[in-house]
Structure 1
């Protein structure tokens, strides 16, 4: 495989087109990822990376205020352990503080950069001079290119700015104000932005954890921007101010959006067919109570998952149930078992996702009693009003269709919920029922990394089937798109922020607090021991539990700080 990459690069440099495409990402490649090249030249933290469209050049920006251009893939060098590459070009920019964003621009003849000095610059690669600049009200965190003369900037003053180099001006196309922050704490910074040219959609990630998507129409005059969708994980507290969306990225076809959420996890949102956050359960129907038997492969995986569950290895059990679901998608028994594993794994957000798995099981088989009872019990911790309604529906159904034992069980569930609910005034129940959600929920969730210490941490698609992200622990994390964690490896001595897959090759460039950039490629199995990679279940669990405890501690401290701030605000009033 490594020779095929080298042959591809050699043919491209010689101007020949390759008839056959390179292999796409697969799990075997991922678990053999290793650092094959180190890019040395920066003298400060490397905060941003981008490949050109051909995957031949890489641009980076740093705390040292330099832009550097690299050609990391060199066909003359064998893929081995840690080749060292120096930059093709080093440009001292006009920035006076840390560079957070860099992008190739105008057919790769220029570089856009944004920084902590509140400025964006367009630098000509030939003259190495700034040919366009703009100063905003706060730090510039991300940049997305629209076309050869326009680009978007995410600015921490709460705005998304459109810069037009042909007209020589910039103006806000969106600003966060109190009026468009319903029930969300007053954190307004725009942290991330992405533009998808084929669909004309703009995604904006901000403080508070919200992701907004706009439909943009660009013409010769000012663009027309229509608000489209707002995404937010269903279990998160919409009044809490500790979240921030540190990175957003559209999938290649624009149908999905990846969001790395600070103080939380990585989320995949369905842009094409989104669903509102809903706690309602499907109505009963005439299907049998017990689902159909599983195929033999899925049954064997389920039994393995059950064994791990009985040994209280809930992380491994959940991963195994995900494997079974890949073999037999949507089977209610597997979904219910996965829900049970999540409930016992007890990471942040696991109770809510456990409910979602039960909900999915009931959409496939609405009379599956085990899933319905588990869902109702979970609703006690999510929304008591909905839990009461669903428990009453179950009791009424059992009165007509079930035996005395099941009637007694459903009556007990209902009575316990009513006891917890207590004397809630009718008008409060009506208010809760009539509060229609305006947020769209996530499609998949990716847990295990830690994203609290920096607000530029990325998450990226590796092809269409895998997701990669950095972490405050310095590790590179890779998941299957169903949420199964398959790979962890040390990528930075402190914090890993940047994860940029090559658009043409099975390679990844990473960067963070360390001064150097690292290039990852699948290596021969004989070399894989040279890297501190983890793909065993025990190793994955150790890292996930450590990061999860760090996240819990951060959230506790953040909540205490917010409580103090709110208390002080009340005193001052």
Structure 2
């Protein structure tokens, strides 16, 4: 019998029936071998512009991508061929696209730089019916689907608006407008770049944009007509009142942790105890600027707990997402301005890999729901599929010296 705890021991236990298939698959995907064995195995080529969004369906059989060419493509990624290409009707770049759950992969929602949110229904035979759900004056960067619901999803726009949609009656409702109220009474709407729904509680929605705070809302306060402030704010103590570049990506873990990717800074992992309200700093509706409510908070920043950070990538030139990898969210993954896919170990922030994924910039990294497969996309017009196997020569990792060089020259 192989030594206990080794990869060969896991294989042996699986072969003799002592390890259930699900547990075996999870243990492999959670191992460092999973991260270290990844290499580009396929390139999906059909788009004629930057690929801004990628996502797998619930079974992982299809991959959905959206592009500057204003189309979305449903990929049979294993065969590396498009199953269906859809002209969305967007008049500008498609920025995000998602499958709606429990819809047999026939229901897709999209948003774009034209300020529109659109709903795509795929009929028998592959005919796509596209409807405009809402149109705003500014770009809509991100959508968030309510877990387990084939009808409900949210959007976050560059005018600071958060919308809730119910596809059963094609109903749309602007829930709130996120803004900063200054001492002179001026209310500036934030540019919103990211929105995410807690998988454990569909009423908990996090948003972020052009300031330093992740805002966590309980949408029930808005759905029932009550005025409601964020139930908490999150920000690394050192960035309070100092970060002027905002947050481009958010992701919830299975246990409610929040990843936030700061532009011109690092990625941070927030847990409940990092909340400003949790630490008795009542921000209310006022910002942490000037002489207004919350102005004294910077004096007490040293009392706030520091979130874990993930360092090495650069997030300055484009709007990048951030994601967890592994069955138990064991790793953190992001693209970078240097064209690499970065993977860190979540428990201690150690950088595991920096893999070449684009000649210029990687923006999106997504994991297959059950297999040891990762997809990435960026400025290039193709989508890369990463899986265990011999590495494409173009995926050679950055060494420590090169990482320092990239980091310093991006300042």
Sort the TM-score into its range (normalised by shorter chain).
0.7 to 0.9
Q: Does 1:58 align with 2:100?
A: no
Match of residue 131 from structure 1: 131
Match of residue 101 from structure 1: 96
Q: Distance in 1 between matches of 2:316 and 2:188?
A: 19
Q: Distance in 2 between matches of 1:141 and 1:194?
A: 12
- Seen in structure 2, the aligned counterparts of structure 1 residues 433 and 276 have a Cα distance that, compared at 3 Å, is closer
Larger mean CA deviation between 169-178 and 145-154 belongs to 169-178
| TM-align CA RMSD | 3.2
- DSSP 3-state at the match of 1:227: coil
Q: Distance in 2 between matches of 1:63 and 1:54?
A: 27
- Among 103, 110, 115, which residue is 1:113 paired with? 110
Richer in strand (by share): 2
Q: How do 1:223-302 and structure 2 match up within 5 A?
A: 227-236=230-239, 238-241=241-244, 243-253=245-255, 255-271=256-272, 273-274=273-274, 276=276
Q: How do 1:102-251 and structure 2 match up within 5 A?
A: 102-105=97-100, 107=103, 108-126=105-123, 127-146=127-146, 147-179=149-181, 188-200=190-202, 201-217=204-220, 227-236=230-239, 238-241=241-244, 243-251=245-253
**What do residues 454-479 of structure 1 show as CA deviations (whole Å, max 9, x unaligned)?**
02x11111122211110011101111
Q: How do 1:374-413 and structure 2 match up within 5 A?
A: none
Match of residue 510 from structure 1: 376
Q: Does 1:534 align with 2:401?
A: no
Q: How do 1:463-482 and structure 2 match up within 5 A?
A: 463=326, 464-481=329-346, 482=348
Alpha-carbon shift at residue 519 of structure 1 (Å): 0.4
- Among 311, 318, 325, which residue is 1:462 paired with? 325
Alpha-carbon shift at residue 220 of structure 1 (Å): 8.4
Match of residue 87 from structure 1: 82
- Seen in structure 2, the aligned counterparts of structure 1 residues 276 and 477 have a Cα distance that, compared at 3 Å, is same
Residue pair 1:488, 1:540 contacting (<8 A) in 2 also = no
Q: Does 1:549 align with 2:408?
A: yes
Richer in helix (by share): 1
Q: How do 1:13-28 and structure 2 match up within 5 A?
A: 21-22=24-25, 23-28=28-33
Alpha-carbon shift at residue 226 of structure 1 (Å): 5.7
Residue pair 1:122, 1:132 contacting (<8 A) in 2 also = yes
- DSSP 3-state at the match of 2:181: helix
Unaligned runs of 5+ in 1: 5-16, 75-84, 279-430, 553-573
Q: Does 1:33 align with 2:38?
A: yes
Q: Does 1:494 align with 2:357?
A: no
Q: Distance in 1 between matches of 2:34 and 2:173?
A: 44
Q: Distance in 2 between matches of 1:438 and 1:216?
A: 31
Residue pair 2:232, 2:276 contacting (<8 A) in 1 also = no
Q: Distance in 2 between matches of 1:123 and 1:151?
A: 14
- DSSP 3-state at the match of 1:541: helix
Residue pair 1:270, 1:442 contacting (<8 A) in 2 also = no
Q: Distance in 1 between matches of 2:55 and 2:229?
A: 28
Find the structure with the greater CA-based Rg: 1
- DSSP 3-state at the match of 1:549: helix
**What do residues 75-123 of structure 1 show as CA deviations (whole Å, max 9, x unaligned)?**
xxxxxxxxxx121000011101100000001522211000001001001
- DSSP 3-state at the match of 2:239: coil
**What do residues 203-262 of structure 1 show as CA deviations (whole Å, max 9, x unaligned)?**
101111211111233998669866211111111251542x22111000023x20111111
Q: Distance in 1 between matches of 2:143 and 2:302?
A: 28
TM-score, normalised to structure 2's length?
Answer: 0.80
Alpha-carbon shift at residue 162 of structure 1 (Å): 1.1
Q: Distance in 2 between matches of 1:25 and 1:163?
A: 35
Alpha-carbon shift at residue 55 of structure 1 (Å): 1.4
Q: Distance in 2 between matches of 1:519 and 1:27?
A: 19
- DSSP 3-state at the match of 2:409: helix
Q: Distance in 2 between matches of 1:218 and 1:145?
A: 19
Alpha-carbon shift at residue 195 of structure 1 (Å): 0.9
Residue pair 2:368, 2:374 contacting (<8 A) in 1 also = yes
